């Protein structure tokens, strides 16, 4: 098991949110004002992560040419990690990312230009209720076959990824919508309001 995979497994990202996957990309997210960088479970306060981060992707192996890239941010810990009965909260959903997953791009960081993507859900920062402990805010990069329309919940219906079903999350959302999605990479930070 790689160090990357072990970090995602140790905090339950692999299992609670996504299935085991083959790593194709690394994700770096930096919050501009606070200069805090998302780093596999580090603690970032809600104040320091309230504005949309700058996100970059580095491919570690080539991806098929004919794909669309999608980035999500989700919190699986509502109302709290030890009792996540409400399901995941969608914190962002962007698709049609202008990324190059070819052999020539391997090992090079590519900053996502959010002015040139399709924004389904704009980023909202952490808002864990007081006293609910750590919440895992998870960035996941997906690929899907080009031509597949990626849809999502409305801005007003982010809880349970728009399903209204307790325990429902991003993995359930794309299966329900019959969107073929492949996880390429993930990263996350913890935040709390105590």
28 CB-contact burial (10 Å; exposed 0-12 / middle 13-18 / buried 19+): middle
**pLDDT tens for residues 83-138?**
888 889 999 999 999 999 999 999 999 999 999 999 999 999 999 999 999 999 99
Mean pLDDT of 148-169: 89
d(CA 142, CA 183): 5
d(CA 27, CA 109): 9
Cα–Cα nearest to 69, from 36, 37, 105: 105
Q: What residues contact 78, with CB distance under 8 A and at least 6 apart?
A: 84, 86, 87, 88, 89, 135, 159
In this structure, what token pair is assigned to residue 191? 């935040």
**pLDDT tens for residues 42-79?**
999 999 999 999 999 999 999 988 999 999 999 999 99
CB 88 within 8 A of CB 78: yes
Structural domains present in the chain:
3-191 (3.90.280.10)
Residue 86 is predicted with a pLDDT of: 86
Task: Indicate the pTM of the whole model.
Answer: 0.96
Cα–Cα nearest to 82, from 160, 159, 192: 192
Label residue 1 by pLDDT band (50, 70, 90).
low
With helix as H, strand as E and coil as C, how does 120-158 read? Answer: EECCCCCCCCCCCCCEEEEEEEEEEECCCCCCCCCCCCC
Beta bridge partners of 110: 57
């Amino acid at each position: 098991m790689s160090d990357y995979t072990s970090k995602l497994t140790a905090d339950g990202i692999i299992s609670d949110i996504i299935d085991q996957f083959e790593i194709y990309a690394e994700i770096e997210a930096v919050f501009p004002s606070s200069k805090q960088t998302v780093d596999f479970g580090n603690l970032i306060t809600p104040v320091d992560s309230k504005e949309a981060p700058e996100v970059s992707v580095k491919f570690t192996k080539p991806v098929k040419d004919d794909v669309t890239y999608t980035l999500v941010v989700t919190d699986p810990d509502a109302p709290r990690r030890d009792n996540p009965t409400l399901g995941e909260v969608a914190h962002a959903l962007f698709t049609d990312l202008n990324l190059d997953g070819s052999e020539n791009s391997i090992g090079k960081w590519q900053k996502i230009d959010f002015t040139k993507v399709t924004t389904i859900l704009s980023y909202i920062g952490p808002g864990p209720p007081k006293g609910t402990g750590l919440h895992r805010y998870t960035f996941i990069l997906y690929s899907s076959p080009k031509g597949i329309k990626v849809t999502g919940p409305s801005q007003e219906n982010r809880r349970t990824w728009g399903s209204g079903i307790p325990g429902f999350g991003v993995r359930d959302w794309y299966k329900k919508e019959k969107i073929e999605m492949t996880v390429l990479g993930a990263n996350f930070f913890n935040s709390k309001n105590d």
